[in-house]
């Protein structure tokens, strides 16, 4: 078990290091001189070259890479020229929108998907199964940004229950902030819930065919108990794997959804930074997202061990 986890952690660190090189290399290949971008078109050649020296842009490439990585390790992600502010501050400011959004969406999708998946598996082949899996099949096909537009039309334009977009911040209490996040979270959660419900159903079906389930039923254990205690626990591994993958997907999905709802989150920050060529911001946010994907996958591996005692002993 310890060896298994150590190996996973090592692989995660190597992946992260490689990812940082890829991100750095892509940004290096981009045309455009950051110093000139910062100073504008009318700047003299001398002032541009002075700034280049000051920013360390004339250093050899490996030094610049090490400086960048070393900076990130101590929380210095550089300075954005479009916002004239440290990148870490921008990220912190935007994360308070994106992180709650992704978390609410993950919770929503889980509390919808797992009961639906179990319900469908328990009623395999009957009407309940057909209807819920038909709905899931449609849910998988719905692009989240289109679903978002439809939600805006129904709940914001027509019923006027929630705002159509924008974010009031958390300063005025939790409720106004949450109200602004409800529609985006639902839009993000629905397609994910559809996928998760399908995975839960097929994992449950796999487990329900096992001998120990029949034994449990044969010795008179109530059906509900068998489903929720014995079957679900054994079906959790594929479900957890998909949930881990989904968190990464949700974080990336915020890019589109935040654009639909004009939410000032990380997704909108990185999208605007890309279009404005504010590369230092792009690098910082991308590295943060990649790191969180790697950490989430590690946590999923840890959860395997919690769910399945056999793994704890074996590896």
Partner 1 sequence: MSAPDAATPPEGIGAFLRDAFSNRSFLIGAVITMLIAAMALLSFVWTPYDVTDLVVASRMQTPSAEHWLGTDHFGRDILSMIMVGARNSIAVAVVAVGIGVAIGVPLGCWAAARGGWIDEVLMRFNDLVFAFPALLSAIMITAIFGPGAVNAIIAIGIFNIPVFARVARAGALSIWPREYVLAARAAGKGPTLITIEHILPNIASILLVQGTIQFALGILAETGLSYLGLGAQPPMPSWGRMLFDAQTRMMVAPHLALFPGMAIVITVLGLNLLGDGLRDLLDPKLRRRR
| Contacts of 141 by beta carbon, 8 Å cutoff, 6+ apart | none
| ∠ Cα 34 37 38 (to 5°) | 90
16/162 with CB nearer partner 1? 16
CB 70 within 8 A of CB 285: no
Angle made by CA atoms 92, 83, 257, in degrees to the nearest 5: 60
- 140 is a contact residue toward partner 1 (CB under 8 A): yes
**Residue 159 in the binding site for partner 1 (CB under 8 A):** no
Report, in Å, the least distance between residue 37 CB and partner 1: 15
Question: CB of 204 within 8 A of CB of 118?
Answer: yes
> Looking at 47, 54, 137, 215, which residue binds partner 1 (CB under 8 A)?
137
Which residue in the set 15, 49, 67, 82 belongs to the binding site for partner 1 (CB under 8 A)? Answer: 15
Q: Residue 268, exposed/middle/buried by CB under 10 A (0-12, 13-18, 19+)?
A: buried
Q: Would you call 275 exposed, middle or buried from its count of C-beta atoms within 10 A (0-12, 13-18, 19+)?
A: exposed
In the region spanning residues 196 to 235, those forming contacts with partner 1, defined by CB under 8 A, are 205, 209
Q: From the CB of 140, what's the least distance to partner 1, in Å? A: 6
- Pair 253, 108: CB distance under 8 Å: no
The stretch among 16-24, 36-44, 65-73, 303-311 that binds partner 1 (CB under 8 A) is 16-24
- C-alpha 137/C-alpha 194 separation (Å) is 7
How far is 258 from 248, CA to CA, in rounded Å? 15
Interface with partner 1 (CB under 8 A), residue from 70, 89, 143, 168: 143
Selected binder of partner 1 within 138, 299, 306, 314 (CB under 8 A):
138
Q: In whole angstroms, what is the distance from residue 144 CA to residue 135 CA? A: 15
Shorter beta-carbon distance to partner 1: residue 135 or 221: 135
Out of 152, 180, 199, 269, the only residue in the binding site for partner 1 (CB under 8 A) is 152
Q: Interface with partner 1 includes 153 (CB under 8 A)?
A: yes
* Count of residues near partner 1 by CB under 8 A: 43
252 binds partner 1 (CB under 8 A): yes
Answer yes or no whether residue 18 interacts with partner 1 by CB under 8 A: yes
The torsion of the CA quartet 223, 225, 227, 229, rounded to 10 degrees, works out to -160
Which residue number, 3 or 313, has a Cβ lying nearer to partner 1? 3
Interacting positions 22-41 with partner 1 (CB under 8 A): 22, 26, 30
Element (H, E) at 293: helix 279-307
**For residue 143, what are its two tokens?**
């692009």
Residue number, 151 or 227, with CB nearest to partner 1: 151
* CB closer to partner 1, 178 vs 213: 213
Which residue's structure tokens are 């929108």?
97
Build a one-symbol-per-residue string for 288-307: x at contacts with partner 1 by CB under 8 A, - elsewhere: -xx--xx-------------
Q: Which residues bind partner 1 (CB under 8 A)?
A: 11, 14-16, 18-19, 22, 26, 30, 137-138, 140-143, 145-146, 149-150, 152-153, 157, 205, 209, 248-249, 251-253, 255-256, 259-260, 270-271, 274-275, 282, 286, 289-290, 293-294
């Amino acid at each position: 078990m310890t060896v298994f986890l150590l190996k996973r952690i090592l692989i995660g660190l190597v992946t992260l290091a490689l990812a940082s090189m890829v991100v750095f290399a892509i940004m290096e290949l981009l045309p455009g001189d950051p110093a000139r971008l910062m100073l504008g078109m009318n700047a003299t050649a001398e002032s541009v070259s002075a700034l280049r020296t000051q920013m360390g842009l004339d250093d050899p490439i490996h030094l610049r890479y090490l400086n960048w990585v070393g900076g990130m390790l101590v929380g210095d992600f550089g300075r954005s020229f479009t916002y004239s502010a440290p990148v870490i501050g921008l990220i912190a400011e935007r994360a308070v929108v994106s992180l709650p959004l992704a978390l609410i969406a993950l919770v929503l999708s889980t509390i919808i998907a797992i009961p639906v998946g179990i319900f469908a598996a328990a009623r395999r082949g009957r009407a309940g199964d057909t209807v819920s899996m038909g709905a899931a099949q449609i849910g998988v096909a719905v692009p989240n940004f289109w679903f978002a537009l439809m939600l805006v039309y129904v709940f914001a334009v027509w019923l006027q229950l929630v705002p159509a977009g924008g974010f009031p911040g958390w300063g005025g209490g939790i409720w106004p902030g949450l109200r602004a996040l409800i529609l985006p979270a639902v839009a993000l959660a629905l397609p994910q819930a559809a996928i998760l419900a399908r995975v839960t159903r097929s994992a449950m079906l796999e487990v329900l065919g096992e001998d120990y389930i029949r034994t449990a039923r044969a010795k008179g254990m109530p059906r509900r108990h068998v489903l929720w205690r014995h079957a679900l626990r054994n079906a959790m591994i594929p479900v957890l794997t998909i949930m881990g993958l989904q968190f990464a997907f949700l974080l990336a999905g915020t890019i589109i959804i935040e654009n639909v709802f004009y939410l000032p989150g990380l997704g909108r920050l990185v999208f605007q930074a890309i279009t404005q060529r504010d590369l230092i911001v792009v690098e910082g946010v991308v590295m943060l997202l990649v790191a969180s994907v790697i950490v989430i996958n590690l946590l999923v591996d840890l959860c395997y061990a919690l769910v399945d005692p056999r793994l704890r002993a074996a590896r």
